[in-house]
């Protein structure tokens, strides 16, 4: 079988402003990331995913792009990017970058021209209507139609009003985006992660209202997964692969339906898509995890490969979600084992390897994320108290996972010599790379060992599931490749579990591997040949 290079990688997502500051302005940048590439190499990372670094007013922290060809000055310049990507490649690390096709910033030159008059050549780059055609709401809350006083028409925005949706019915938009891909491919990028790719507006059917659930929350039915989106993606994938055959294409598809997700991946489509049903579960549930892993194995075709992740920039950190009250200490190790031994392409998120916890704001003034701030304002408009509004805002806010990387326990955690761009006064857990690297039994060493084990054992890279089982609070699965079988047993329960096995012990949390009695969050990885 012809395996792809990305099947042999553990990917590591870097949230650009929060990883490492190289010029001491309090904002992470390419110079800072470049100084930490050896750290990532030692960790075992073979692929980096960068969140947006393009010129942007940062209404949504860079997902509102004002210029697809320019590096935002907060992150450096083009020369800094070139130094970064050259060094990454020299260290054997591939680089994939976020790309937002659904919308641009309202400060993008296309929208500035489009909004200048109804007769402008770029008017149809965006979606304009003389009257609001439907009841669609923004995914951030509030109306998705914004009135423009200059031209007396409404424009459509699925997210913030400063994030204006592109009109993908216009072939000029498609051609313009092809040039963007060509530019970054020629600069050496190895892949793209498509943000909210299934939200693209590809037809003119705006006369259908969205329904509401029993709680009065709008169900986004007609403003995503529109007829024609799959054909557009097929065309886009084909054209990008003509530029670079082995490019890695990752999709963020906003859906909780696995049967919908699978429509976007496979032959002629995206290489992989994120399954948020698994990755973003709000609280720990072995039953839910088992269900999603089993379902992916059942539903996906042979040419479809799942993604594995439990953290990203859009959700609270898994260590906080799964152990909110400190009663499940050790679950982070068990989840690391699950992430790095399951079938699929694993994506880590920066700081996961040291157990960074959620950043929860003590006051609204400390919050940066527009999603959280919008939620706060909506709660206040409803008449709720500031306390209730703040609690709701913290639940919605994505600041939780966007706090700075903790390299050491100095004033600014070794991230910068200046005050960071994001609130740090609410940080309460002071773990750091420096302290954990002094302890061979720490979480960071577990990640290193698991990653190397994954690379060293072909069955952990390519082997599909032979069986998956859940016995009360025990997760057991076997993967098979050629004559190799890997058996993984993880105890998520409070009662001990005795494993009867045949084969060699590759790795275990047990001090004495001769007697296989697994207590809470213990694991064992076994190997045998048939």
Please indicate whether residue 162 is annotated as part of the active site.
no
CB atoms closer than 10 angstroms to residue 1: 5
Mean pLDDT of 370-396: 92
Please indicate whether residue 260 is annotated as part of the active site.
no
At 512 the pLDDT is 63
Query: H/E/C letters for each residue in 485-499?
Result: EEEEEEECCCCCEEC
417 and 473 together in one domain: no
353 and 469 together in one domain: no
Helix, strand, coil percentages for the chain (3-state, nearest 5): 35, 20, 45
Among 418, 446, 474, give the residue marking a domain's end: 446
**Rounded CA separation 230/429 (Å):** 44
At 426 the pLDDT is 81
328 and 267 together in one domain: yes
At 1 the pLDDT is 58
What letters, b where the CB count within 10 A reaches 16 and e where it falls short, cover 388-398? ebbebbbebbb
CB atoms closer than 10 angstroms to residue 7: 14
Mean pLDDT of 466-470: 97
58 and 85 together in one domain: yes
User: Active-site residue among 195, 292, 332, 358?
Assistant: 195
268 and 322 together in one domain: yes
431 and 468 together in one domain: no
The answer to whether residue 181 is domain-embedded is: yes
Q: How confident is the model over 125-180, as pLDDT tens digits?
A: 999 999 999 999 999 889 999 999 999 999 999 999 999 999 999 999 999 999 99
271 and 312 together in one domain: yes
What letters, b where the CB count within 10 A reaches 16 and e where it falls short, cover 297-307? beebeeebbbb
Q: What tokens does 370 get?
A: 């527009």
Q: How many domains does the chain have?
A: 2
- Confidence band (pLDDT; 50, 70, 90) for 514? low
The answer to whether residue 229 is domain-embedded is: yes
The range of the structural domain enclosing residue 311 comes to 5-104+171-358+405-446
The answer to whether residue 45 is domain-embedded is: yes
Q: How confident is the model over 318-336, as pLDDT tens digits?
A: 999 999 988 889 999 999 9
Looking up residue 252, the CATH number of its domain turns out to be 3.20.20.80
State the sign of the Cα–Cα–Cα–Cα dihedral 251, 257, 259, 263. negative
At 510 the pLDDT is 85
The answer to whether residue 219 is domain-embedded is: yes
337 and 474 together in one domain: no
**Rounded CA separation 400/423 (Å):** 10
The answer to whether residue 468 is domain-embedded is: yes
User: Quick check: helix, strand or coil at residue 241?
Assistant: helix
The answer to whether residue 371 is domain-embedded is: no
pTM of the model: 0.94
Looking up residue 510, the CATH number of its domain turns out to be 2.60.40.1180
**Rounded CA separation 247/322 (Å):** 34
User: Active-site residue among 223, 252, 292, 332?
Assistant: 252
The answer to whether residue 13 is domain-embedded is: yes
524 and 416 together in one domain: no
% of the chain surpassing 70 pLDDT: 99
CA triplet 250, 254, 256: central angle to 5 degrees? 110
- 187 touches 82 (CB < 8 A): yes
The answer to whether residue 370 is domain-embedded is: no
Q: What tokens does 390 get?
A: 């703040």
Among 414, 446, 478, give the residue marking a domain's end: 446
440 and 515 together in one domain: no
């Amino acid at each position: 079988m012809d395996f792809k290079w990305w099947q042999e990688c553990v990917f590591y997502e870097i949230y650009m402003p929060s990883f490492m500051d190289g010029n001491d302005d309090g904002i992470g940048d390419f110079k800072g990331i470049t100084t930490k590439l050896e750290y990532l190499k030692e960790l075992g990372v073979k692929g980096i995913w960068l969140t947006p670094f393009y010129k942007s007013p940062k209404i949504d922290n860079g997902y509102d792009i004002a210029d697809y060809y320019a590096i935002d000055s907060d992150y450096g310049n083009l020369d800094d990017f070139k130094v970064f990507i050259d060094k990454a490649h020299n260290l054997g690390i591939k680089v994939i970058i976020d790309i937002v096709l659904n919308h641009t910033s309202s400060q993008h030159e296309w929208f500035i021209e489009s909004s200048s008059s109804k007769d402008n050549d770029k008017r149809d780059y965006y979606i304009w209507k003389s009257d609001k055609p439907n009841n669609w709401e923004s995914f951030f809350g509030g109306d998705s139609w914004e009135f423009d006083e200059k031209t007396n028409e409404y424009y459509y925005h699925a997210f913030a009003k400063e994030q204006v949706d592109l009109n993908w019915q216009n072939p000029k938009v498609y051609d313009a985006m092809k040039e963007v891909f060509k530019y970054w491919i020629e600069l050496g990028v190895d892949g793209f992660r498509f943000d909210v790719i299934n939200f693209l507006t590809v037809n003119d059917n705006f006369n259908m209202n969205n329904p509401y659930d029993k709680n009065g929350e709008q169900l986004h039915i007609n403003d995503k997964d529109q007829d024609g989106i799959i054909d557009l993606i097929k065309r886009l994938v084909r054209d990008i692969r003509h530029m670079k055959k082995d490019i890695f294409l990752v999709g963020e598809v906003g859906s909780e339906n696995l049967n919908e997700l699978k429509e976007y991946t496979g032959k002629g489509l995206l290489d992989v898509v994120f399954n948020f049903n698994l990755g973003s579960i709000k609280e720990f549930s072995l039953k839910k995890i088992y269900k999603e892993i089993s379902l992916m194995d059942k539903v996906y075709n042979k040419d479809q490969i799942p993604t594995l992740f439990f953290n990203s920039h859009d959700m609270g950190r898994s260590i906080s979600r799964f152990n909110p009250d400190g009663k499940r200490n050790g679950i982070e190790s068990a989840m690391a084992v699950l992430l790095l031994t399951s079938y699929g392409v694993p994506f880590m998120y920066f700081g996961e390897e040291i157990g960074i916890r959620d950043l929860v704001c003590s006051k609204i003034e400390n919050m940066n994320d527009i999603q959280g701030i919008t939620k706060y304002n909506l709660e206040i408009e409803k008449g709720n108290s500031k306390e209730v509004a703040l609690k709701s805002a913290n639940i919605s806010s994505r600041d939780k996972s966007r706090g700075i990387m903790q390299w050491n326990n100095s004033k600014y955690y070794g991230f910068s010599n200046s005050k960071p761009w994001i609130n740090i006064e609410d940080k309460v857990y002071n773990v750091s790379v420096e302290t954990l690297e002094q302890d061979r039994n720490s979480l960071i060493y577990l990640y290193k060992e698991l990653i190397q084990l994954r690379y060293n054992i072909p069955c952990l890279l390519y082997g599909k599931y032979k069986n998956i089982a859940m016995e009360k609070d025990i997760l057991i699965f076997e993967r098979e490749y050629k004559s190799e079988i890997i058996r993984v047993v993880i105890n998520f329960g409070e009662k001990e579990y005795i494993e009867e096995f045949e084969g060699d012990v590759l790795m275990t949390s047990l001090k004495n591997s001769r007697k296989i009695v697994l207590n809470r969050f213990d694991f064992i990885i076994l190997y045998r040949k048939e």
